[in-house]
Structure 1
Amino acid sequence: MQTLKNVVQPALIHNPNSRKNAQDKGHFLRMARQKLGDYCVSSLNDSHLPAHLTELKSKGVDLIVISGGDGTVSACLTTIAAIYHDCPLPAVAILPSGNTNLIAGDVGFGLHGDAAIDRLLRPEGLKSCIRAPIRLSWPDEERPAVLGMFGGCTGYARAVRIAHSPNVLKFAPHDLAVFFTLFTSMASLLFRRSRHSWMKGDRLSWSAQGKDLPRESRDGRSFLFMVTALEKLSHGIWPFWSTGNGGSGFHFLDAHAFPKALPRACFNLLRGRAPEWLRSHEDYVSATVQEMQLETDSDFVLDGEVFPASASGRLMLEEGPAFRFVHV
């Protein structure tokens, strides 16, 4: 953890469509514009971000404040990396206001509303930490790469589609909507009609580069595959073996199709525990890696955004550029 020094100018990117911002009837935006002036940008659509960030870069902005959920943060990080490619990346502060705020749970700013803006206008002495988002790309397509912090495919992608339904988002806002996906995967096993479909998973082959890998590749089917560049999730849940990677690489978990001891494994992972029997179990693989090549017929979900599988099924996960996240 380091202290922020010599910041020239903060700027705010505000998503008016995010849950909290849409509910406050514009109060936060009006207040921010009074204090930040032209350095407060309200972006209705991600397609507007390149123009906004190009202008902010030209003004010397080196602290980008993001008011939105995980999807907004992902879109901003992707665009920031593209616009600031020829110079040092600006620091980032996250003010959570979306349907899901997993990223803020790890690297959020820690203040809200007026207090957050006032402190960001006095950035000297703020603390910071480094996280390198995951870069998702499709080698066989011209689809642009994206950066994100939490995602997955196979059973995770199935469950996210359920969690995105209006009824779930209405009654399980914020990060609970994401963790509902994990419980959905488990609950589906209680019903005979859905048990076999969920347990057999989806086709998934992968090869990886990283230290302490129990194996460098796998070819088969996966019940649940998840990745994250974060170091902490909400409610004590941590479905990965490794912790505290110091910003080097990202974590992944692959639970094979028809995994044995699944209730026992879930009981531990949902409590942030990975006992030795689970670490050595042949149906569960978890490690910290710098790069993974995947081939699957499943969609891939990154920070809540669903990306359909390519025609070849191939995709690449890599450690992205390192960002400095500012917090109190």
Structure 2
Amino acid sequence: MQPALIHNPNSRKNAQDHGQFVRMARRKMGDFCVSALNDSHLPAHLTDLKNKGVDLIAISGGDGTVSACLTTIANIYHDVPLPAVAILPSGNTNLIAGDVGFGLHGAEAIDRLLRPEGLRSCIRTPIRLSWPEDERPSVLGMFGGCTGYARAVRIAHSPSVLKFAPHDLAVFFTLFSSMASLLFRRSRESWMRGDELLWSAKNGAVTGTEADDRSFLFMATALEKLSHGIWPFWNATSDVNDGFRFLNVKAFPKNLLGACFNLLRGQAPDWLRSHEDYVSAVAKEMLLKTDSNFVLDGEVFPASVGGHIKLEEGPAFRFVYV
């Protein structure tokens, strides 16, 4: 395999080391180490790497960098097999690395990438986010959501939260700690009534439609685990596992604190699985209509004029790790 590294100098950890990691990587990898100051530079960089025969791409950055790289890799390598991917976490949020991270850091990681024989691997299929009525290009990502999740991300991105909360837990910390706001009438009404959301989900030949018009919380993921045992998803039909997972919590949900207590521990008891206010399943494709922004891997995408959003399975990537 021919490895290469895409380095985001603006990610939190990379910005803090004053360029030490990328200088070391360049000494070891030469022109196969690329520092991308902006996502707009990725197509040119990846076209060059493709022409050089690169079939293993390490990404040093956070979730937003990984999402941008996966999107561009899929576009550039559309006519050949996709390269394997290794994640070296260094961003504000590193949920993706918690599931498919490479497992080594610094010089040790670079040395192992240069000797890729014997690396283990797993397959993940990112979610493709698109806007059917807009001309903006689709993007790939591994974890996202709207309604209450988008609200939580907006709060979690504030400096006061990022200063005190662990970076990979900032969004979940904000989301579930916001339950304290339910003690106060004004904030309780605002959070509980949620945002507009109509959705339909398709898995193979089966399509399900949700008729309720408001959602307290919507999340979806292509990952198979999150940090610290948190897992707010389950599958209503155990024989269907091919696709991405989603959770929708209706506006004014009953027994919300009990649901949060269980999902923070990665548990979904029978009462939660059968509760009409909480719907979780696996889908290959979803159509949403919402007035909420959609957040994918920490990046905020404004709602379209008509509010329509499409989520579907993207191309399968092979993630390598030690």
Same-fold status (TM-score > 0.5): yes
Q: Which residue of 2 aligns with 1:106?
A: 99
d(CA) in 1 for partners of 2:195 and 2:13? 35
- Does residue 10 of structure 1 match 2:11? no
The unaligned stretches of length 5 or more in structure 1 are 1-6
Paired residue type of 1:282: E
Q: Which residue of 1 aligns with 2:274?
A: 280
Contact 1:213 1:287 in 2 (8 A): no
Task: Report the CA distance between 1:171 and its aligned residue.
Answer: 2.0
Task: Report the CA distance between 1:279 and its aligned residue.
Answer: 0.3
Against the structure 1 CA distance between its residues 275 and 212, is the aligned structure 2 distance closer, same or farther, given a 3 Å change threshold? farther
Contact 1:14 1:43 in 2 (8 A): yes
Within-5 A mapping of 1:27-66: 27-66=20-59
- Aligned mate of 2:212, from 197, 202, 219: 219
d(CA) in 2 for partners of 1:148 and 1:308? 16
Within-5 A mapping of 1:236-251: 236-242=229-235, 248-251=242-245
Deviations 1:163-205 (A, max 9, x none): 0111212222420222223224323212222000100000100
Contact 1:236 1:271 in 2 (8 A): yes
Q: Which residue of 2 aligns with 1:126?
A: 119
Q: Which residue of 1 aligns with 2:296?
A: 302
Task: Report the CA distance between 1:247 and its aligned residue.
Answer: 7.7
Number of residue pairs aligned between Structure 1 and Structure 2: 321
- Does residue 193 of structure 1 match 2:175? no
Q: Which residue of 2 aligns with 1:252?
A: 246
Q: Secondary structure at the match of 1:181?
A: helix
Contact 1:256 1:284 in 2 (8 A): yes
Task: Report the CA distance between 1:25 and its aligned residue.
Answer: 1.2
Q: Which residue of 2 aligns with 1:289?
A: 283
- Aligned mate of 2:155, from 162, 171, 174: 162
Paired residue type of 1:228: T
- Does residue 25 of structure 1 match 2:4? no
Q: Which residue of 2 aligns with 1:268?
A: 262
Aligned-residue CA RMSD (Å): 1.8
d(CA) in 2 for partners of 1:55 and 1:307? 29
d(CA) in 1 for partners of 2:145 and 2:18? 34
Contact 2:201 2:207 in 1 (8 A): no
Instruction: Name the TM-score, length of structure 1 as normaliser.
Output: 0.95
- Aligned mate of 2:173, from 180, 183, 188: 180
- Does residue 143 of structure 1 match 2:140? no
Contact 1:223 1:255 in 2 (8 A): yes
Paired residue type of 1:239: P
Instruction: Name the TM-score, length of structure 2 as normaliser.
Output: 0.96
Contact 2:60 2:90 in 1 (8 A): yes
Percent same amino acid among aligned pairs? 79
Contact 1:134 1:228 in 2 (8 A): yes
d(CA) in 2 for partners of 1:246 and 1:115? 39
Deviations 1:75-133 (A, max 9, x none): 00000000000000000000000000000000000000011000010001100000000
Contact 1:212 1:287 in 2 (8 A): no
Against the structure 1 CA distance between its residues 100 and 213, is the aligned structure 2 distance closer, same or farther, given a 3 Å change threshold? farther
Task: Report the CA distance between 1:288 and its aligned residue.
Answer: 0.6
- Aligned mate of 1:92, from 68, 79, 85: 85
Q: Which residue of 2 aligns with 1:4?
A: none
- Aligned mate of 2:320, from 317, 320, 326: 326
Q: Secondary structure at the match of 2:57?
A: strand
d(CA) in 1 for partners of 2:281 and 2:18? 44
Deviations 1:279-324 (A, max 9, x none): 0000000001100000000000000001111000001000100000
Task: Report the CA distance between 1:210 and its aligned residue.
Answer: 1.6
The unaligned stretches of length 5 or more in structure 2 are none
d(CA) in 1 for partners of 2:128 and 2:293? 16
- Aligned mate of 1:233, from 226, 236, 243: 226
Paired residue type of 1:61: V
Deviates further, 104-113 or 208-217: 208-217
d(CA) in 2 for partners of 1:185 and 1:79? 35
